[in-house]
Structure 1
Amino acid sequence: MKNKHILLAEDDVDFGSILKQYLEVHHYQITWAKSGSEALEIFQKSSENHFSIAVLDIMMPNMDGFRLAEKMINKAPEIPFIFLTARKLKEDKIKGLKLGADDYIVKPFDADILVLRLNNILRRTQNPNLIKKSSKIQIGSYTLDTGNYRLLRNGNVQKITEKEAALINYFFQHKNQLLKREQILNTIWENDDFFSGRSMDVFISRIRKHFKADPNIYIESTRGIGLTFHINEEAEKIS
């Protein structure tokens, strides 16, 4: 993996110190912020692609992990992130999923599990095979700009995440075909566990909203099987 620089936001000094040292042993470069506001300041001053992933504690003073993630996404929607929390509330997990979290880990946890999940996420997000080359793909009245992670229509530009771009591109390459959920999960998420499944549902909901202005495009769910990305064949063109 070409980049293993983590932005760690954790206000518990003892836990943060131990976690930082452990991740450094596993060859990660760590920038540790002890509050949400400090993490945001560091992130806003960083250059593009400076951090490969963010590990965010939810319960922090001044600015919690959810709010921090929202502000980070506004600057760099493609950055993957993991939430850490001492709470097991279902509402927290749902909120994290809606923000596009790549994982959600409840304290206490085995640090080896965190390393494994970090490695999996980075391998997935830095996988050049998800989108093999930068291109502009005409999908109905939309243009998917895979190189800049944008969806364009009638002069409007919608910034999307790397995963959204990969998922839309994958759907387009298999348009009008019924795809099994496991097939999509193993290709884009490289995992078909419960969390990945819920995460995919959130991304599907986002993509439906992105394409809602064009009646030629819609995603059909087949209960218990999978999804079909329907597109009017006469409406498509690859530029």
Structure 2
Amino acid sequence: MKGKILIIEDEKKLCDIIGLYLSKEGYEVNYAYDGETGESFIENSSFNLIILDVMMPQKDGWSLLRKIKSHSPETLVILTTARGEEEDRIFGLELGADDYMVKPLSMRELVLRVNLRLKSKSSSSIHTKSSMIEIGSLAIEEDNRRVIEKDVIISLTPKEFDLMLFFIKNSNIVFKREQLLDKVWGYDFAGDTRTVDTHVKNLREKIYYFNSNLKTVWGVGYKLEL
């Protein structure tokens, strides 16, 4: 089995088609045809990746995304929606989504994105060192992706953690937003450079050390000064 996936989609036919394609790829697939069932799955089971429809009655995708990221921040989430406006994409990424696809969906593209996301996560886990990084007021446990500042555990989304770690391991180097998208999100990421700005803003708000040391290089990008 390649991984465990949950599909939360109120269009039953579409949900079943997505599941069929992913099952053929070797994934264990669970189905939720409404938000309440999806919420129950989230609370009682663990998944490698969740495909989440945004527009659903009663429990919408935004509220479920918040639930997923608070309950299991390591779980990857791909949002699907008929609305492709930039503000919707930015909002979903700010809440912690790992990818965003606009309907009508291409099944081949969806399967490709699922494979790439899970492969990237698996690869990063394999190469992560079981070590502690101490920098300023921060203590970072790479193996369990935990961040502690002044004895307080800082809650970060997976991409916030990845971006934080990238800056620390590449300190005093100026990176353009496009470079950060490529290095942290991956070349196949469908978002834009505002995604980087949003995650930088979140890091500065959540981590006092980054608020002081993560600098904006006007007209270029960002660098972490050590």
Length-normalised TM-score, structure 2: 0.89
Aligned residue in 2 for 1:237: none
| Distance in 1 of aligned mates of 2:211 and 2:83 | 42
**In the alignment, what sits opposite 2:146?**
150
Kept in 2, the 8 Å contact 1:124–1:188? The answer is no
CA contact (8 A) 1:7 1:32 kept: yes
Going from structure 1 to structure 2, the CA distance change for 1:192 and 1:181 (only over 3 Å counts) comes to farther
Question: Are the aligned partners of 1:131 and 1:169 in contact in 2 as well (CA < 8 Å)?
Answer: no
Matching residue of 2:51: 55
Deviation at 1:215, TM superposition (A): 6.4
Q: Is the 8 A contact 2:138 2:209 kept in 1?
A: no
Aligned equivalents of 2:110, 2:151: Cα separation in 1: 42
Query: 1 CA distance for matches of 2:68 and 2:111?
Result: 22
CA 1:218–1:143: 2 relative to 1, 3 Å: same
User: For the Cα contact (< 8 Å) 1:179–1:228, is it kept in 2?
Assistant: yes
Cα deviation code 1:208-236 (max 9, x no counterpart): 2223367652232442x3321112xxxxx
Q: How does 1:173-188 map to 2 (within 5 A)?
A: 173-188=169-184
In structure 2, how many angstroms separate the alpha carbons of the residues matched to 1:105 and 1:65? 13
**AA of the residue aligned to 1:226:** G
In structure 1, list runs of 5 or more residues that go unmatched.
Answer: 232-239
Q: 1:109 to 1:215 in 2, by over 3 A?
A: closer
Work out whether residues 89 and 191 of structure 2, in 8 Å CA contact, stay in contact via their aligned partners in 1.
no
Quick one: which amino acid aligns to residue 225 of structure 2?
Answer: H
Q: Deviations over 1:6-57 (max 9, x none)?
A: 11000111111122112212222211111112111112111xxx31111000
CA change 1:192–1:202 in 2 (3 A) is farther
CA deviations over 1:59-85 (Å, ceiling 9, x no partner): 112210110010111111121111111
Deviation at 1:196, TM superposition (A): 5.5
CA–CA distance in 2 between the matches of 1:100 and 1:25? 28
Following TM superposition, the consecutive aligned residue runs of length 4 or more in structure 1 with deviations greater than 6 angstroms are: none
Aligned to 1:163: 159
Partner of 2:37: 38
How many equivalent pairs are there? Answer: 226
Larger fraction in helix:
2
Verify: 1:230 aligned to 2:225, yes or no: yes
- Provide the residue aligned with 2:117 in structure 1: 121
Contact 1:149–1:159, Cα closer than 8 Å, also in 2: no
CA contact (8 A) 1:177 1:228 kept: yes
How big is the alpha-carbon RMSD for the aligned residues of Structure 1 and Structure 2? Answer: 2.3
Give deviations 1:124-152, integer Å, cap 9, x for gaps: 22223786212221121111222222221
Q: 2:139 touches 2:147 (CA, 8 Å); kept in 1?
A: yes
For 2:97, what is the secondary structure of its paired residue?
coil
1:73 to 69, 73, 76: 69
Separation (CA, whole Å) in 1 of partners of 2:92 and 2:211: 30
Q: Residue 13 in 1 paired to residue 8 in 2?
A: no
Contact map agreement 2:203 2:210 (CA 8 A) in 1: no
Q: How far does residue 180 in structure 1 lie from its aligned partner after superposition?
A: 3.5
Return the alpha-carbon distance in structure 2 between the equivalents of residues 18 and 42 of structure 1. Answer: 20
Q: Which letter does structure 2 place at the counterpart of 1:28? A: Y
SS for the counterpart of 1:126 is: helix
User: Is 1:104 aligned with 2:91?
Assistant: no
The structure with higher relative contact order (CA 8 Å, sep 6+) is 1
- Report percent identity of matched pairs: 32
